[in-house]
Structure formats: C-alpha cells, structure tokens
Amino acid sequence: MRSTIRLGSAALGVTLLVSVAGGSALAQDVSGSVDVHGSSTVAPISLAVSEDLKAANDGFGFTVGEEGTGDGFKQFLHILDGGRIGVSAMGVGMAQGALDEALAYAKERRAFGQPISKFQAIQAKIADISAEIEAARLLTYKAAILKDRGESFTLTAAQAKLKTGRLAVRACEEAVQIHGGYGYIEEYPVCRFYRDAKILTIGEGTDEVQQMVIARQLGC
C-alpha cells in the first residue's frame, strides 16, 4: 500500500512490495559485521521510482493492497511494532544466557580458598541481573499478549524493546566482568554474547527512537 509522508515541503510516497520467485532483489548482503555472525545482514538498494511505478514493479513482485489508500507507512510502523516484541525476546534470552554462564563460572572459579560466587561483590551483580531479567521477561510477555488479543501494543512493545536491549548489554558486560580475563577469550561464550548484545539497542529502532515512541504514546 502507498501513503504520502510530508517532511517540511517534501513528500515521500511509501509502497509495500512483496517479491515473488524469480523477481529482482532490492537488497544486497552486507559483510563485515562485528556481531550476530549467524544472521545475514542486508541493506536496501536504492530504487529509482519512474513515473509509472508499476513498470518498476513488474520485474519485482506486487504491491500489498491498493495504491493510494494512505496505509503503506502505517503498515510499515505496525510491522516494526511486532518486530520489537521479537527483538525484546532476543534481549531477554541473551541476558538469561549471560547470567547462566556467569553463574556457572562463578561457582566453578575459586579464589582465596572458595568459589568467587561466595563473594558479595559477585553476588550483587548476579542478584541485580536476575531481578531485572524477570521484570524484562514479564514486560515482553505483556507486549506479546496485547498483540495476540488485538489490542494496542505500540507503547508496551517500545518499552520492552528499550528495557531488554539495554539489559542485554549490561548483563553481558557483567558476565564478562565476572569471568575476568577469560571473558575476553573466544573459548568462553560470554565473549560472543558481549559482541552480539549491542545490536539489540539498534535494530528495529534505536533506543532513542523507542524513547520518542514511548513519549508520544504517553501524550508528550
């Protein structure tokens, strides 16, 4: 579907397109990412819009719905809202994984005659992350439940995305800290977790975008 967005005096048309088998690709693989090596990264290729959009469309696929209804951009934002729930779940999972690894290592690693898990400094890190993970998990569940019920979930999805992305970064950083020098060695998974976590504060809308969405939903 196509809609028009006005930025100052400029107007941008937005049309959602679906590719069919054998159609021309509008994205290309991007290599060299420092994180999430198990996931392909693509970047959009600029498509010059001709006077007749259908001419460009013929070799690609088809539009979603009818053009000119004004819903293209709205659908795009709705897709992002749903995607933020998925990314929030990734954040919770990554934070939980980091906590599990940190806890297991702290129980195994010994210093001054006892496991480092017995030291209050380590216990405080583990306790804080554990409590935050449970809160973030429930917030993510709430966003998913609202979506499943067909209720408005834009605010909750943005809150969950903001919270879980930041939590994943912090949990992974603390896990590396608990591992000490071993946390920077590829032999231990927290090293990879630490690299992977940062993208969760960027993908599906940066933290700053989530803050804007939340503020607007609250009537600011």
Write out the catalytic residue numbers: 204
Helix, strand, coil % in the chain, rounded to nearest 5: 60, 15, 30
Burial code of 32-62, b = ≥16 C-beta within 10 A, e = fewer?
Answer: eeebbeeeebeeeeeeeeeeeeeebbeebbe
Which residues make Cβ contacts (< 8 Å) with residue 10, sequence separation at least 6?
none
Judged on CB neighbours under 10 Å (0-12, 13-18, 19+), 209 is: middle
Q: Are 171 and 136 in contact (CB under 8 A)?
A: no
Burial code of 124-141, b = ≥16 C-beta within 10 A, e = fewer?
Answer: ebbeebeebbeebbebbb
Question: DSSP code of 182?
Answer: G
- Residue 174 token pair: 């603390």
User: What are residue 3's DSSP bridge partners?
Assistant: 14
